[in-house]
Structure 1
Amino acid sequence: MEVGKLERAVGSCRLCRFVDQPFLLDRVYSWLPRKVRVLAIGESPPPGRKVGSLYHLGSFDRLRLSLSLILGVGMEEVLETLKRHGVFFTAAVKCRPPDRRSIEGMRRNCVPLLQKELEILRPRRVVAMGRFASASICELMGLPPPEDLRKISWTKMVDGEIFFTPHPNYLFRFKREMCPQVRKILLRS
């Protein structure tokens, strides 16, 4: 797999002002399954001067907590569970935003990085989780945005399918009853 290309693409990008680069600091691409069946796309690393991120196992992360509920596993098992099932969790924004207001501009600048991930990883299923992930994948695929991101929707792509779901943190706070359905989308393709 071409992990080096992905790391170099993230590391060489200077389009945005950012706090740090968790995708490099936490060696995110080392968690790639041998074969990526599902590419799940979240929003961004938590904005501001924080340590946590999904892949920073030495600190608490709200996204990891939400995914543990969705997957029905302990927080410490989330990444191994995803990897074992051929799921890679990426973000629409690769670098840590200085604040929430910066995320939309950074998202637009990161679309080429997401496209590179899709080209290299070639997943059969894409799961866009939340507004920013959905905006990026729709922009790449020339699709209209989903009408309501509080529900699950899907569409076919040439060699697979795209699901649109609420963001994992939204599911954790407001829609826990949807977790079993999202678990199936992530783990069974």
Structure 2
Amino acid sequence: MSALDDLHDLGVLDRQVSECRACPRLVAWREEVARVKRAAFADETYWGRPVPGFGPPDAPIAIVGLAPAAHGANRTGRMFTGDRSGDVLYAALHAVGLASQPTSTHIGDGLELYGVRITAPVRCAPPANKPTPQERDNCRPWLAKELSLLPVRVIVVLGAFGWQALLPVLSAAGWSVPTPRPRFGHGAQVTLAAPRQQDRPLHLLGCYHVSQQNTFTGKLTPAMVEAVLTRAKDLAGLGG
């Protein structure tokens, strides 16, 4: 039996996530970044640990990214907080009524999410933003447990890495993932039939990742992110 099997509280899960040291390469990297720092943040104390999910425990929408940014969430301790990717994501969440403000700079800045929880398949900042398959798999139980504790009806997946990491989690939880597995794409929508204990299907929505590579080149615009989030709201019954 997994040590997580008897865990039924998101707050406890978040604390356990933040103490994980399962991947030596990621532990060494996140701690080195926190020690050396970026010049612009030289006076700040970096979080330098795994980053837990962020959002209310009754959220029907989950947003799944990739991993914390070295000088973003690895610095601030909150998903998509303190970097350019977060600037785009939280502005879009605010624009569609899922966040209390359009900016996310640090824990304690007053930001609240409405009906959304943001998480990732890898909780430590990886070198070059590229976790290994083994690191992804080591982290999988955290994501699986987190999603099992949420009344999730819609999952917005930011990027192909998150999509590919998520599908095995959902399949193991009993959701009917098609074979062959659905491919990621911006605007992709897949509806999974519910496990026996669930009474509603689960909707997966694909969205290009809010990375600078995508947003600076125009591959992903704010309007495109807002359109996916609006669709998520409607599917979750939060529209209007």
Match of 2:25 among 17, 22, 32: 17
User: What amino acid is aligned across from residue 161 of structure 1 in structure 2?
Assistant: H
Corresponding position of 2:220: 175
Distance change in 2, residues 1:55/1:131 (3 Å) = farther
Structure 2 unmatched ranges of 5 or more: 1-8, 32-45, 96-100, 172-176, 195-199
Provide the aligned C-alpha RMSD in A.
3.4
Within 5 Å, give how 1:19-34 maps onto structure 2: 19-20=29-30, 25=49, 28-29=52-53, 31-34=54-57
Structure number with higher strand proportion: 1
Task: Point out the more displaced range, 127-136 or 173-182.
Answer: 173-182
User: What amino acid is aligned across from residue 44 of structure 1 in structure 2?
Assistant: A
Alignment partners' CA distance in 1, 2:10 and 2:154: 19
Corresponding position of 1:91: 120
Asked if 1:35 is matched to 2:58, the reply is: yes
Structure 1 unmatched ranges of 5 or more: none
Deviations for 1:31-73, whole angstroms, at most 9, x for unmatched residues? 4314121111001012xxx332288289740221121343336
Q: Report the TM-score when normalising by structure 1.
A: 0.76
Q: How many residues align?
A: 183
Runs of 4 or more consecutive aligned structure 1 residues displaced over 6 Å after TM superposition: 21-24
Q: Report the TM-score when normalising by structure 2.
A: 0.62
Match of 1:68 among 72, 76, 90: 90
TM superposition shift of 1:27:
6.7
TM superposition shift of 1:186:
4.2
User: What amino acid is aligned across from residue 30 of structure 2 in structure 1?
Assistant: D
Deviations for 1:65-109, whole angstroms, at most 9, x for unmatched residues? 12134333632499835x2x2101101110111333434442222
Specify which structure has the bigger relative contact order, considering alpha-carbon pairs within 8 angstroms and separated by 6 or more residues.
1
Structure number with higher helix proportion: 1
Alignment partners' CA distance in 1, 2:138 and 2:47: 16
Distance change in 2, residues 1:56/1:79 (3 Å) = farther
Asked if 1:113 is matched to 2:142, the reply is: yes
Corresponding position of 2:152: 123
User: What amino acid is aligned across from residue 181 of structure 1 in structure 2?
Assistant: A
Alignment partners' CA distance in 1, 2:47 and 2:161: 17
